[in-house]
Structure 1
Amino acid sequence: MFKNCSHHLSLQLNTDSLMDLKKTQPFLYLGLFYLIISFITRIIFFFHPITSADFTLSEVLKVLVIGIANDVFVFILASSVLALYLLFLSDSKYKKPYGPLILSLLVLIFLYILIVPNNIFKQYGGSVTKIVLIFVGLKAFLFGLMFFFPQKRIKIRNVLYFITLFLYVLLIVFNAVSEYFFYNEFGVRYNFIAVDYLIYTNEVIGNIMESYPVVPLFSGIFIITLAITLLIYRKTRNELQNLPDFRQKMILLGSFAVLVAISLLTLPVMMQIKSTNVFADEIGSNGLPKFYWAFTHNELDYFQFYIQMDEKQAEKNFLSQYAEPSLSRPVASAQPEIKKNVVLISVESLSADFLEHYGNTQKITPFLDSLADRSLMFTNLYATGNRTVRGLEALTLCIPPTAGESIIKRENNKNRFTTGSVFKSKGYDVKFLYGGYSYFDNMQDFFAGNGYGIVDRNNFKPEEISFANVWGVADEDMAKKAIQVMNAEARSGKPFFNHWMTVSNHRPFTYPDGRIDIPGDAKSREGGVKYTDYSLRKFFEMAKKQSWYSNTVFIIIADHCASSAGDTELPMDKYRIPAIVFSEGFIQPQKFDGLMSQIDVMPTVFGLLHFNYTSKFLGQDVFTKEFQPKAYIATYQDLGLVKDNSLTILSPVKKVKQYSLTPETGKIAPEFNIYYKENLLKKPEQKLVNDAVSAYQSTSYWVKTNALTR
């Protein structure tokens, strides 16, 4: 008798365990599909042309193992919604008295949101009320169907289950495609740029629509999603016939809660695993937690995440480079001030190696190359970052980049000491010109808040636009508008300073046909560069006919390079940009080959004009005897100082790396030493570490305390 009971109990336990395991089939199938897609994505990244690194077999295996671990933990967290959905599947909730009570409650909540003008959801503003209303209404409708038509319950449940699976599979496929295109553009997984793209949906969706074959792409995504969903649905739908009881749900819920806790504790640790190979780190990571981290860390507190020194000592060390070692210091010239008009043109994504002067043989910048021969050309200049807002920040505020998001995109970005404020103090008319809508990247808020007039796409009449894409009007249309603006300013009798930001050299690289020998719909980077060069030539042809031309200084400089991907955190060749200063009869043609930063350009221009002013700029006039050759290059978290043939990088969490820089002169344009080989040093030189900490810590402190306001 006892033997039979024991056998029966053992059989029951085995049956229950098997049933509990079968209830996890949706997770197992979805998880397996996610791991396969992630594995394929990593293999593609290994062989992608942008991955300029070599891997040994052991390194590949290590990356794949770390990647699989990351994917497992991410999937566990991502499947929480599915777990909750399955947890609340029940037949008992439709029985009396629960069914009528739940349905009545859902209807009452719906009516409360719909009728009561000041309901609790209104306090959250935006679209929260509409979203909750739709959700509750849909929930009440479906619950009512399943309550009043129990014979249709399984069919309705199957439809909802299919939709749930479809959305999960769609998210997995769409995320893989998105990560591929993001990696194709930036050479990294999701970062703060992806957060920006989520915020500026109009520009981003428009960019996608114009850059890629959207119909075939989305058709392929839909077909793959539908096929995989049908496969998983057919394998698992029978499990909805017999729903787990309360005990089984508690076991499954408890197990899942443990896995979620482990994932939450482990993922942050996994994200801190770094090697000397940046591509290995990016390929082995998972884009979703990186996206979440970027979303919650748009501003990084230097004093929380980076190595520090005594603040007074840091400031003293940093300010020692100036003739007057103080933050607010007089800049005086022995010669009379020259109040020429100044036009600053920051060109979208113009890497130095697009120009023939730097060894390019494609002849895609014929005008800029010819203008450079008649200009002051800075041949060893580096951008501070890899985003437009970083370039605008460097040229407007003239300070090293700070960790996190650019100051332009922060709330406290107004009344700063800027290039515009210096010109305004001299009686100049100051404007920012942009072919797109300047609300993008918070440019309108920043420039208007710092005293600039703004001319953007809103100022164009329909007949003034010959071509436009999602980023704005074509550069040649903006050139014509710029001439109109400058003519009006010249008639006022005041000198003017105009900062024009170009847009055409940006994906999708579309422009009007017939201007250059590359079709406007070819969507090639070379075409974008060559068309921008064409537009600048048109601008100068028009400007030369104006009365103000001979009394104007033109500065043409890139905002950043076309790509930021490389073998190290901060690859030097991905930050090198061209810059020329041209003024017929005033600026003598010459090449300045000294190492310099983007933040040094405008202080140098003020020096050429012999301006007297009280400066809070942290850049230097490169023609003064106090100038110290150096450059600041950074991402949103890695802060680099290039000085004395070394690159020192400060990173979270209080990490320091240093590379020796060896010029490689045998590739292209040897006279400019455009490429540097970066060799990681085992022991960083402390003086250079102190210089880097002094620069970035002091800048962060002054930004935080509003010391750089005017």
Structure 2
Amino acid sequence: MSFLREVIKTYILFVGIFFIGRLGLYILYFDRLSDISFLESLLTFVYGLRMDTIIVSYILVIPTLLLAISPMRISVLMSRFIKFFVLFWLLIIIYMENATFPFFTQYDVRPNYLFVEYLEYPQEVFSLMIKEYKMAFLIAFIMMFIIGRVFWKSSFIDYNRVFFTSYFKRLVLLLPLLIVLFIGIRSSFGHRPANVTDALYSTNRVINEITKNSFHSVANAYYSNKKNSSKLIEKYGKMELKETYARTSKLLNIPYSDKQYFLREVKSHFKTTKAKNLVIFIQESMGSQFVEFSGGEKNLTPNMNRLGKENLVFTNLFSNGTRSIRGLCGMSAGFLPIVGEGILKREKSQQDFFTIASMLKPYGYKSSFIYGGEGRFDNMKGWYLGNGFDEVIEQKDYQNPSFVSTWGVSDEDLVIKANEKFKTHSQKGEKFVSVMFSSSNHEPFELPDGKIEWVPNVPKQSVKNAIKYADFAIGKFFELASKESYYKDTVFVVVADHNVRVYGDDIVPVNMFHIPALIVADGLKATQYDKLSTQPDVLATAIDLLGMDLKYPILGHSIFSNDKQEVSLMMFNDTYALRVKDKVAVIGQNMKPQTFTYKDEKLHPTIEDKELQKDALALIIVLNDLYNKKAYR
């Protein structure tokens, strides 16, 4: 069984190097782990092993294949090639582990997107290393030389031995080994493979960083940066940055400065001596067609309809995009849809990106993101924890849930958990802000029995029944909350992340971005707001109702402000629609901009409005620039 033995020894070699690096960081930063128990801190080595296994499993795929399929007659040549291949990765890993220490000292994180960016300037980086990190540089190369030489000369790992195992036995072992490596690469038996979010097991940021794997972090950053490179934005067109910011400032009616960008102080229209809590309940795929107050069905969502008649409703609200991460960002950070991958999954926005939690933290607010599924989905857990939220509650945190579907615990379990959380805050005298995210309205639409009357003439597992069940959970939440002391001291928002499946013949099916939203707050009169709005507008309105003057860069306005504009930016795949009142400019990658009027839920070609088209281009360039400069904070 030398085949299996040599593969295992190679795995242990790499994992051992990762362990030593992690142990070094653990010892070096142990004094910063005082807020967690010693036992919890030791879990870094368990969770870290998972991150390490992902990388080592990738590395081992090619050696495993070659060892299995190569004939005996080329054994010497092949064993040397495999040893060289492993040595190559071994040296890279040793260097990365050494580079982690000075990088951590400088930035307080493991190597990330900055490490990738610096690689674009090798001459400057080499000069910096020689000047500032001579000793670290020297130690790294000494270790690389010694370990590399020992590995090459030593017979401890001898791939040539494998070829003395019969060809048939090697082929028989190949499939099981590849399955094991696949499991290692995936490192999860859940719906989604493990990612960097799985390293975030603690509330202590430093131990979470120690748990990560530096090579994995850099590889993830490289992939993200490549997928979202600056060249991608150029496919939409070019414009001087000065002009883009001037146009965006005028379009959104938000003052801009070179130092603070769009950060400004906004005075509340509802000033109070006791600031309120904020709860935002985001509904998965709840389109306007399902809710009466936004022009939809009358009887499908009775709880939304009832709440809508008694509170503030948005009847002309359009979502950022067609994916949950666009809506989550819009309602948690007040940002608009950026070109490429969503903000929640982008490398530069994993820390120091504005959120309602980071805004309210200085005022003593406790914050949470509450979800019924796995927090790693769309990197939600990592993004929320990295940007000011104190806690992420996910599927594993529910004890004995009443119903579990493919996507997590039921919405009823979610609202019960949330209510208990808010009660605890209230009993402790703590102010709180929370984002809740439902998951019922998602294929395969698995729903618990006995909660709603199934919609007639449609399958049980259908969109309409999922919407009806989501509405049941909304009603349940407000039934529970209304009995608690925190209820009158809280601003509640119920809003969709996006519509259900977006489709249509238009280049951008604008009508399928139409979503409902309502705000419940003590003393707020029943109001129907019919002007065009965005998710950042809804967020700004909810913040206005908290009763405090606050500073924020949110790209929208409270509906109670005279600054509020009728503007909406929608992203459909890689195409954008900028709507100002009922005129729409559509721009896309390498395509000629077009202008339409929006009437009767359709786009109608009209006389070209070059200024509106330029405004659309300016806005998406600004969004990209704010992200790249980490200026949205």
* TM-score after normalising by structure 1: 0.59
Q: Distance in 2 between matches of 1:538 and 1:314?
A: 46
Q: In the superposition, relative to structure 1, how do residues 142 and 420 fare at CA in structure 2: closer, same or farther (>3 Å)?
A: same
Q: Distance in 2 between matches of 1:550 and 1:108?
A: 70
**Residues 514-663 of structure 1: pairs in structure 2 closer than 5 A:** 514-518=450-454, 522-584=460-522, 586-653=523-590, 655-662=592-599
Residues 223-273 of structure 1, C-alpha deviation per residue, up to 9 Å, x if partnerless? Answer: xxxxxxxxxxxxxxxxxxxxxxxxxxxxxxxxxxxxxxxxxxxxxxxxxxx
**1:680 corresponds to 2:605:** yes
Q: Secondary structure at the match of 1:569?
A: coil
Task: After TM superposition, give the deviation of residue 378 of structure 1 in Å.
Answer: 0.5
Q: Give the counterpart letter for 2:420 in structure 1.
A: Q
| Other-structure match for 2:627 | 703
Q: Give the counterpart letter for 2:486 in structure 1.
A: W
Verify the 8 A CA contact 1:110 1:136 in the aligned structure 2: no
Q: Distance in 2 between matches of 1:442 and 1:116?
A: 31
Q: Secondary structure at the match of 1:531?
A: helix
Q: Give the counterpart letter for 1:367 in structure 2.
A: N
Q: Secondary structure at the match of 1:330?
A: strand
Q: Distance in 2 between matches of 1:298 and 1:323?
A: 27
Q: Distance in 1 between matches of 2:282 and 2:594?
A: 31
Verify the 8 A CA contact 1:109 1:136 in the aligned structure 2: no
Verify the 8 A CA contact 1:405 1:636 in the aligned structure 2: no
Verify the 8 A CA contact 1:554 1:581 in the aligned structure 2: yes
| Other-structure match for 1:217 | none
Aligned with residue 203 of structure 1, among 191, 209, 216:
191
Q: In the superposition, relative to structure 1, how do residues 633 and 497 fare at CA in structure 2: closer, same or farther (>3 Å)?
A: same
Q: Distance in 2 between matches of 1:435 and 1:635?
A: 27
Q: Distance in 1 between matches of 2:365 and 2:280?
A: 14
| Other-structure match for 1:480 | 416
| Other-structure match for 1:135 | 65
Q: Give the counterpart letter for 1:537 in structure 2.
A: G
Residues 541-590 of structure 1, C-alpha deviation per residue, up to 9 Å, x if partnerless? Answer: 11111111122211000000001121123201110000000124x21101
**Residues 447-486 of structure 1: pairs in structure 2 closer than 5 A:** 447-452=384-389, 453-461=391-399, 463=400, 465-486=401-422
Q: In the superposition, relative to structure 1, how do residues 143 and 484 fare at CA in structure 2: closer, same or farther (>3 Å)?
A: farther
Q: Distance in 1 between matches of 2:72 and 2:406?
A: 40
**1:691 corresponds to 2:615:** yes
Q: Secondary structure at the match of 2:451?
A: coil
Q: Give the counterpart letter for 1:538 in structure 2.
A: K
Verify the 8 A CA contact 2:584 2:596 in the aligned structure 1: yes
**Residues 395-474 of structure 1: pairs in structure 2 closer than 5 A:** 395-413=331-349, 414-452=351-389, 453-461=391-399, 463=400, 465-474=401-410
| Other-structure match for 1:126 | 56
Task: After TM superposition, give the deviation of residue 696 of structure 1 in Å.
Answer: 1.4
**Residues 219-230 of structure 1: pairs in structure 2 closer than 5 A:** none
Aligned length: 452
Q: Give the counterpart letter for 1:705 in structure 2.
A: K
Q: Secondary structure at the match of 1:483?
A: helix
Q: Secondary structure at the match of 2:348?
A: coil
| Other-structure match for 1:276 | none
Residues 338-382 of structure 1, C-alpha deviation per residue, up to 9 Å, x if partnerless? Answer: 511221100000000011234444622111111100110010000
Q: Secondary structure at the match of 1:701?
A: helix
Task: After TM superposition, give the deviation of residue 399 of structure 1 in Å.
Answer: 1.8
Q: Distance in 2 between matches of 1:128 and 1:654?
A: 39
Q: Distance in 1 between matches of 2:302 and 2:385?
A: 35
* TM-score after normalising by structure 2: 0.65
Structure 2: which 5+ residue stretches go unaligned? 19-53, 75-166, 172-185, 194-222
Task: After TM superposition, give the deviation of residue 707 of structure 1 in Å.
Answer: 0.8
Q: Distance in 1 between matches of 2:269 and 2:294?
A: 36
Residues 455-495 of structure 1, C-alpha deviation per residue, up to 9 Å, x if partnerless? Answer: 1122111x2x0100121100001111111100111112122
Q: In the superposition, relative to structure 1, how do residues 532 and 295 fare at CA in structure 2: closer, same or farther (>3 Å)?
A: farther
Q: In the superposition, relative to structure 1, how do residues 334 and 380 fare at CA in structure 2: closer, same or farther (>3 Å)?
A: closer
Verify the 8 A CA contact 1:510 1:521 in the aligned structure 2: no
Task: After TM superposition, give the deviation of residue 496 of structure 1 in Å.
Answer: 1.2
Q: In the superposition, relative to structure 1, how do residues 513 and 684 fare at CA in structure 2: closer, same or farther (>3 Å)?
A: same
Q: Distance in 2 between matches of 1:199 and 1:120?
A: 17
Verify the 8 A CA contact 2:491 2:519 in the aligned structure 1: yes
Q: Distance in 2 between matches of 1:445 and 1:517?
A: 38
Q: In the superposition, relative to structure 1, how do residues 471 and 143 fare at CA in structure 2: closer, same or farther (>3 Å)?
A: farther
Q: Distance in 1 between matches of 2:437 and 2:567?
A: 25
Q: Distance in 2 between matches of 1:406 and 1:649?
A: 20
Task: After TM superposition, give the deviation of residue 522 of structure 1 in Å.
Answer: 2.2
Q: In the superposition, relative to structure 1, how do residues 373 and 117 fare at CA in structure 2: closer, same or farther (>3 Å)?
A: closer
Q: Distance in 1 between matches of 2:538 and 2:297?
A: 27
> What is the root-mean-square deviation of aligned Cα atoms in Å?
3.4
Aligned with residue 265 of structure 2, among 318, 330, 334:
330
Q: Distance in 1 between matches of 2:448 and 2:229?
A: 39
Aligned with residue 244 of structure 2, among 314, 319, 325:
314
Q: In the superposition, relative to structure 1, how do residues 334 and 526 fare at CA in structure 2: closer, same or farther (>3 Å)?
A: closer
Larger radius of gyration: 1
Task: After TM superposition, give the deviation of residue 693 of structure 1 in Å.
Answer: 1.9
Q: Secondary structure at the match of 1:442?
A: helix
Q: Give the counterpart letter for 2:57 in structure 1.
A: S
Task: After TM superposition, give the deviation of residue 117 of structure 1 in Å.
Answer: 6.6
Task: After TM superposition, give the deviation of residue 441 of structure 1 in Å.
Answer: 0.7
Q: Secondary structure at the match of 1:203?
A: coil
Task: After TM superposition, give the deviation of residue 136 of structure 1 in Å.
Answer: 2.9
Residues 582-608 of structure 1, C-alpha deviation per residue, up to 9 Å, x if partnerless? Answer: 124x21101000011112111112223
**Residues 215-294 of structure 1: pairs in structure 2 closer than 5 A:** none
Q: Distance in 2 between matches of 1:136 and 1:128?
A: 14
- Could you tell which deviates more after superposition, 552-561 or 130-139? 130-139
Q: In the superposition, relative to structure 1, how do residues 316 and 115 fare at CA in structure 2: closer, same or farther (>3 Å)?
A: closer
Q: Secondary structure at the match of 1:126?
A: helix
Q: Secondary structure at the match of 1:344?
A: strand
Q: Give the counterpart letter for 1:455 in structure 2.
A: I
Q: Give the counterpart letter for 1:457 in structure 2.
A: Q
| Other-structure match for 2:116 | none
Task: After TM superposition, give the deviation of residue 140 of structure 1 in Å.
Answer: 4.3
